[in-house]
Amino acid sequence: MKISSIFPQGKKGPEKFFTGNAYNYGLVAMDSTLTTLVGNVYFEPGARSNWHTHPAGQILIITSGKGYHQIEGQPIEILQSGNVVTCPPNVRHWHGASPDMGMQQIYIVPNTEKGVVEWMEAVSDAIYLSL
């Protein structure tokens, strides 16, 4: 199933940070004035980020499709259009599409003077398919 988006698909994320096909399209670049990085990611079905942290946290806005978000130690959250989730600073999380349907999400990384992202290991199938 094709998931619609109001943004171009963008550039495929590297295999060292993503399982499957995830495409990033930048919306607001880093600067010292707004100190906020904004973009859109399209996760194909089955695709997800590695585990990672954000030094100042992250906000996700789901605009289409179906996906997952998990903060380490908490249950997987099911995400759909209109959902908004946040992750606190320096907390391990991952996000991605559901196995059967892709997901479009806008991401907001605040206070980028503290850093943007620290990448860690891939999310195993055992975790991803545990829902």
Kindly state the smallest distance separating residue 27's Cβ from a second copy, in Å: 5
Kindly state the smallest distance separating residue 34's Cβ from a second copy, in Å: 5
Per CB under 8 A, residues contacting a second copy are 6-7, 27-28, 33-36, 38, 56-57, 59, 61, 63-64, 81-82, 84, 86, 88-89, 106, 108, 110-111
| Widest distance between CA atoms in the chain | 42
Residue 116 or 127: which CB sits closer to a second copy?
Answer: 116
Task: Give me the sign of the Cα torsion angle 125, 65, 22, 41.
Answer: negative
| Phi/psi of residue 18, nearest 5 degrees | -135, 145
Residue 28 or 131: which CB sits closer to a second copy?
Answer: 28
Kindly state the smallest distance separating residue 66's Cβ from a second copy, in Å: 13
Give dist(CA 110, CA 123) in Å, integer.
24
Helix (H, G, I), strand (E, B) or coil at 125: helix
- Look up residue 87 and give its two tokens: 């992750």
